[in-house]
Amino acid sequence: MATIDDVARQAGVAISTVSYALSGKRKVSADTRARIEAACVALDYAPRASARALAANRSEVIAVTAPLHPDTDPSAHMAFAMEVTIAARDHDYDTLLLVHDDAQQGMRRSAATALADGIIVLDVAAHDERAALARKLSCPVVFIGVPEDTEGLVCVDLDFEAAIRQSIDALVEAGHRSVGLISQHPETLERESNYPLRVVHEFERYAQSCGIDFAVTYPETDDAAPALDDLLARLPGMTGVVLNTANPVAQSLAAALGARGLTVPRDVSVIAAGMTPIMARTPLPFDTLPLDPRLTCPVAVDILVDLLEGKAPARGVTLVTPIYQSQGSVAPAPVASPLQAR
Amino acid sequence: MATIDDVARQAGVAISTVSYALSGKRKVSADTRARIEAACVALDYAPRASARALAANRSEVIAVTAPLHPDTDPSAHMAFAMEVTIAARDHDYDTLLLVHDDAQQGMRRSAATALADGIIVLDVAAHDERAALARKLSCPVVFIGVPEDTEGLVCVDLDFEAAIRQSIDALVEAGHRSVGLISQHPETLERESNYPLRVVHEFERYAQSCGIDFAVTYPETDDAAPALDDLLARLPGMTGVVLNTANPVAQSLAAALGARGLTVPRDVSVIAAGMTPIMARTPLPFDTLPLDPRLTCPVAVDILVDLLEGKAPARGVTLVTPIYQSQGSVAPAPVASPLQAR
DNA sequence: TTGAAAGCGATACCAC
DNA sequence: GTGGTATCGCTTTCAA
């Protein structure tokens, strides 16, 4: 492997000139630059990452901690890790994968050994141990997801409250006056980042302020049918459903509705708010305000890179506005409620 | 951050002694070692990765190229990436994630800049461009999956042929004389690593040598029903099914059988051979010989690490023997064929 | 058993 | 605009 010395010799200049020509941190005349570039090509030169990192005191690597709980969706996980990697490459950073058993220790190690310049934390739980760790660590950390206590942390997430409000607005504008929310499994509410709870609260608050009837249900299984029955029992005139639930539940909703003689959007309008699309599966046939990794990951990486390069101070919690994607699952409310119509 | 100098001063020894004490590459007396360890703890010392890499000429990092095609299952992908990472950590290596757009260029870059010591290639296609690249690269590369031309490459994969033979053996031993294979989608056969084809060939060869009736079908969609009908049409007495197909097809098989009045294992015995379990979903209710990342990834990493540390020469293609996992989906063949019995 | 010192290959300061 | 060189923090050879 050629070194910067070889290039300098071949181009007939000093190594500092080569370094400056390549980094652009100093003006270099057109023809010396040309000679240097020619030499680089001729020698197939690439700067050695470790030497550069040692001298510059930065590794150009971002660590990504991606624990894998039994109840997290691995495909969503992969999507986040990939999007972080893609976004990082746009800033000339590489990404190091830190796994579960290793999450705490890995973060510590990557900071202590200066393996990575910064850390992105994925799949954040409400009471995430990595939060306390992040406060102690010397290197910048950005969370994708919001833990309970955000004091001193930098977090990026979808604006779930906004997603809920947009969902209710869309339904209300279409004339719906009775709307149910299918939330997460009870265990998920415990463990998960606190967004499912924030979603429920905002749903109840905003629905109330809009003066519509509402109810919330928490499915016990992956089948939407019992949840649907629960909502219909408490809200016989229900014509709108908002989903912020596990993907299998959402996948089974259309069938559950069909089994009860209900059609989307003729009898019931449906919107999925703040759910992560699964690439491997048929997309949900509903209007969505997705928690899309392509939305949050680049923002998180941008913030981290700004932090690393001293371009901006820590930013607290950044909420990304969801984007409404219509699939034709919202229609004007039927005049009579579907159950009465039957 | 404390450096090795600080530790040496604090312990009252030379830095070389500290280095040797920590690496264990030279004998150090018990009490100097104790003083050094105390100093390390006191100063919270961790060697700087870049300095170590520069001096030792090795980064202790393994790059992982994990492209994401439209038809690859992201959750399986994540599982492989995680298993590689876990296995790598067992050898004190970290893993760098290289993504699709970047796959070729990323491999080149990580070799040229000595970012990583070696490369693991995931999701290998039959005619994978990364194969040619691997032959040119200066750093060791191990493929998880087997491309068409393995000349000069190091590959690890499940022994699919063995999985097929074990499947047929299990069925034949249970008295089945008429066995169908549900293979992959036609497009997958084109693009994918050539194992699906190897599976089909071995199935036909081995079934023939066992003297049983057999047929192979290639499902066009994610629904097993048409494939099942195809098999039953050509093999009216079929009592055994071997699966080496896409997960959704396998997931829908039980329902398709049920719709035709067939029950597993009473009427039909089923074995899934060489399929990757999806963590996010209910596992298949069939006996399996899974392509488990926990089987192949550690082997691949072991081989790569041996290569990196000069412990062993390149090994060509290594096939890992599958492990039979019973789920009770194989039973003695019914006396009369199920169709006749109805 | 330990120490001194020569690299490793970049960056960036200070001169000119 | 360009060149010389100290420096980053380790590993490892050579000497004692």
pLDDT tens, position by position, B258-285: 999 999 999 999 999 999 887 666 788 9
Cα distance between residue B36 and residue B14, in whole Å: 10
The chain A residues in contact with chain B (CB within 8 A) are: 1, 44, 46-51, 53-54, 59, 61, 64, 66, 68, 73-75, 77-79, 81-82, 85-86, 89, 94-99, 101-102, 109-110, 112-115, 138, 278-280
Determine, for residues B64 and A94 on separate chains, whether the beta-carbon distance falls below 8 Å. Answer: no
Strands A317-320, A154-158: pairing is parallel
- Find tokens 């923002």 and name the residue: A299
User: Phi and psi (nearest 5°) for B306?
Assistant: -60, -40
Instruction: State which amino acid sits at residue A260.
Output: R
The pLDDT value given to residue B190:
76
Measure B67 CA to nearest chain A CA, in Å: 9
Query: Contact, B88 vs B97, CB < 8 A?
Result: no
Element (H, E) at B110: helix B103-112
Binned at pLDDT 50, 70 and 90, residue A178 comes out as very high
Query: Contact, B120 vs B93, CB < 8 A?
Result: no
User: Mean of the pLDDT values across residues A280-289?
Assistant: 85
How does pLDDT run across A254-266, given as a tens digit for each residue? 999 999 999 999 9
User: Mean of the pLDDT values across residues B330-337?
Assistant: 80
DSSP B171: H
* A330 burial type by CB count under 10 A (0-12 exposed, 13-18 middle, 19+ buried): buried
Q: Which residues of B236-273 are buried (b: 16+ CB within 10 A; e: fewer)?
A: ebbbbbbbbbbbbbbbbbbebbeebebebbebbbbbbb
The Å distance, CA of A56 to C1' of D8, is 8
**Which one is predicted more confidently, A187 or A27?**
A27
Phi/psi zone of residue B71: left (φ > 0), alpha (ψ -120 to 50 degrees), beta? Answer: alpha
Comparing CB atoms, the residue among A66, A78, A96 nearest residue B75 is A78
Determine, for residues B81 and A86 on separate chains, whether the beta-carbon distance falls below 8 Å. Answer: no
Q: How is residue B193 written in tokens?
A: 């690593």
Strands A141-144, A154-158: pairing is parallel
The Å distance, CA of B43 to C1' of D8, is 19
DSSP B240-283: EEEE-S-HHHHHHHHHHHHHTT--TTTT-EEEEES-PPPTTSPP
Element (H, E) at A338: helix A338-341
Among A291, A251, A287, smallest CA distance to A270 is for: A287
What protein residues sit with their CB closer than 7 Å to strand D?
A 12-17, 20, 26-29, 31-33, 54-55, 57; B 1, 3-5, 15-16, 19-20, 22-23, 25-26, 45, 47-48, 51-52, 54-56
Bridge partners, B272 (sequence order): B243, B288
User: Phi and psi (nearest 5°) for B255?
Assistant: -65, -40
Comparing CB atoms, the residue among A49, A59, A81 nearest residue B97 is A81
User: Mean of the pLDDT values across residues B174-200?
Assistant: 88
Binned at pLDDT 50, 70 and 90, residue A196 comes out as confident
Strands B213-217, A178-182: pairing is unpaired
Cα distance between residue A274 and residue A245, in whole Å: 9
Low-confidence winner among B64-78, B129-143, B230-244, B278-292 (lowest mean pLDDT): B64-78
Q: How is residue A102 written in tokens?
A: 């290793």
- Find tokens 């590489």 and name the residue: A94
User: Phi and psi (nearest 5°) for B96?
Assistant: -105, 135
- Find tokens 């890790």 and name the residue: A81
How does pLDDT run across A101-160, given as a tens digit for each residue? 667 899 999 999 999 999 999 988 888 899 999 999 999 999 999 998 999 999 999 999
For chain B, the average pLDDT equals: 92
Binned at pLDDT 50, 70 and 90, residue B328 comes out as very high
Is pLDDT of A281 > 80?
no
* B224 burial type by CB count under 10 A (0-12 exposed, 13-18 middle, 19+ buried): buried
The Å distance, CA of B265 to C1' of D8, is 68
Query: Contact, B163 vs B196, CB < 8 A?
Result: no
Domains of chain A in sequence order: 4-55 (1.10.260), 61-153+292-320 (3.40.50.2300), 160-290+325-341 (3.40.50.2300)
Q: Compute CA distances A293 → A78, A137, A209, A248, A287, whole Å.
A: 10, 26, 31, 19, 18
The pLDDT value given to residue A88:
97
Chain A partners within 8 Å of B69 (Cβ): none
- How many contacts does A have with B, using Cβ atoms within 8 A? 130
Q: How is residue B215 written in tokens?
A: 């047929």
The pLDDT value given to residue A71:
65
Q: Which chain C nucleotides are covered by protein, judged by CB under 7 A?
A: 1-5, 7-13
The Å distance, CA of B91 to C1' of D6, is 36
- Longest Cα–Cα distance in chain A: 89
Best mutation target among A94, A249, A282 (most B Cβ atoms within 10 Å) is A94
The Å distance, CA of B184 to C1' of D16, is 70
Cα distance between residue A202 and residue A192, in whole Å: 17
Low-confidence winner among A36-40, A49-53, B101-105, B303-307 (lowest mean pLDDT): B101-105
Among A268, A329, A44, smallest CA distance to B137 is for: A44
Determine, for residues B49 and A68 on separate chains, whether the beta-carbon distance falls below 8 Å. Answer: no
Phi/psi zone of residue B139: left (φ > 0), alpha (ψ -120 to 50 degrees), beta? Answer: beta
The pLDDT value given to residue B283:
82
Query: Contact, A116 vs B102, CB < 8 A?
Result: no
Measure the N-to-C terminal CA separation of chain A; round to a whole number of Å. Answer: 78
Determine, for residues B113 and A48 on separate chains, whether the beta-carbon distance falls below 8 Å. Answer: yes
The pLDDT value given to residue A102:
65
The pLDDT value given to residue B220:
93
Cα distance between residue A243 and residue A257, in whole Å: 14
Distance of CA A234 to the CA centre of its chain: 34
Helix (H, G, I), strand (E, B) or coil at A57: coil
Cα distance between residue B288 and residue B271, in whole Å: 6
The pLDDT value given to residue A11:
96
Is pLDDT of B68 > 80?
no
Best mutation target among A6, A52, A78 (most B Cβ atoms within 10 Å) is A78
